[in-house]
Amino acid sequence: MRTIRLLLPATLLCAGAVIVSCGQRSTKKDKDAASVTTTSKAAQKNDSIPLSIDLSTGYAKTSIHKNSAQTVWASFDSPGNESLYGRIVLPASNAGNLRFNQIISPEGNSDGPFGRDISYYLTQGGSYTLAIGESLMQGDPYDGNFIIELYSGSMVPYEKPSNYFVRNDVDTTKTKILKLSSLEEFDAIFGMATTMSSRPTPIDFDKQFIVTVIGPPTDTDTRYDVAALMSKNGILTLAYNVTQGEKQSYTIRPFLMLAVNKEFDGMLNVVEPINF
């Protein structure tokens, strides 16, 4: 198939351009099996920062620093007919003016603007570009560090079984991430919360497996939610968010439980929430 590439501004060809790839060697271990990327000081002096991102595994994480009014042009290849999910993560104390402004297709068509998150279906095969920058209508341009996370592949359907609890004899001092493929494995972790009015959701381990994230005990109201569940090249990638509320008078063990069809079974990659 012929690929038509977008001609980006000449500033993208500057000697200080930064090319980032998930295949680069990292100087520290990345537990998410994704690259940590850097930007050069020379590129920061220009109006554009070009990035090349490898999404062959279905997940990439890129660390960026941009100066005021710079635009980040993040390019990646797609075979087409797959979904894209992306999110911008800023330091916890920063509510800066930054978003996905546009996505540009291999044929040069553009769509947008979006927000800090983007969900998009990539119909064509070839090279796509994401323009990341400020909204001219929402205050001062962003100046500082941030992280881009991109996910690609097939969106995986799932169910969220209810009326289960984590057994008291399970050590959850640290966050546990598990894939459970049999009833025996499941019963070693979870018990059933059966009442007169409600019963646990049935799980068919002949057709399903369980992906679960179990958090440490806490007296803070805590909820785990799915950000994305994607499958690509035999890798199942889960991204989740943690929302915390008010203190409670009792302790809970929060968890996320997903029942997934076995046709999507593969190596599990769970991307934990980023703490800046």
pTM: 0.75
Domains within the chain, CATH numbers bracketed: 10-153 (2.60.120.380), 164-271 (no CATH)
- Phi-psi region at 163: left, alpha or beta (left = phi > 0; alpha = psi -120 to 50): left
Query: Could you give the CA distance from residue 269 to residue 267 in angstroms, rounded to a whole number?
Result: 7
* Mean pLDDT, the chain, integer: 84
pLDDT for res 8: 41
pLDDT average, residue stretch 236-262:
94
Task: Give the least confident one: 16-30, 108-122, 141-155, 167-181.
Answer: 16-30
256 - beta bridge partners?
Answer: 213
pLDDT for res 207: 97
Query: Could you give the CA distance from residue 185 to residue 204 in angstroms, rounded to a whole number?
Result: 13
pLDDT for res 40: 37
DSSP string, the chain: ---PPP---GGGGSTT-----TTSPPSS--TTS-------HHHHTSSEEEEEE--TTSEEEEEEEE-TT-EEEEEEEE-SSEEEEEEEE--TT---S-EEEEEE-TTS-EE----SEEEEEE-S-EEEEEEEE--TTSSSPP-EEEEEEEEEEEEPP-B---SEEE-TTS--SS-EEEEE-SHHHHHTTEEE---SS--PPP--TTTEEEEEEEPPPEEEEEEEEEEEEEEETTEEEEEEEEEEEEEEEEEE--EEEEEEEGGG--EEEEEPPP--
Q: Is the pLDDT of residue 3 over 70?
A: no
pLDDT average, residue stretch 120-127:
96
b/e sequence 7-34, b meaning 16+ C-beta within 10 Å: ebeebbebeebbebebeeeeeeeeebeb
> What are 207-240's pLDDT values in tens digits?
999 999 999 999 999 999 999 999 999 999 999 9
pLDDT average, residue stretch 26-44:
38
Q: Is the pLDDT of residue 47 over 70?
A: yes
pLDDT for res 93: 63
pLDDT average, residue stretch 164-171:
94
pLDDT for res 46: 60
pLDDT for res 65: 92
Q: Is the pLDDT of residue 17 over 70?
A: no
- Token readout for 171 is 């050590």
Query: Could you give the CA distance from residue 140 to residue 94 in angstroms, rounded to a whole number?
Result: 13
Q: Is the pLDDT of residue 266 over 70?
A: yes
Q: Is the pLDDT of residue 156 over 70?
A: yes
* Model confidence band, residue 200 (pLDDT cutoffs 50, 70, 90): very high
Contacts 24+ apart (CB under 8 A), 182-187: 186/210
Rounded alpha-carbon distances, angstroms, from residue 113 to 120, 149, 153? 12, 18, 22
Percent over 90 (pLDDT), the chain: 70
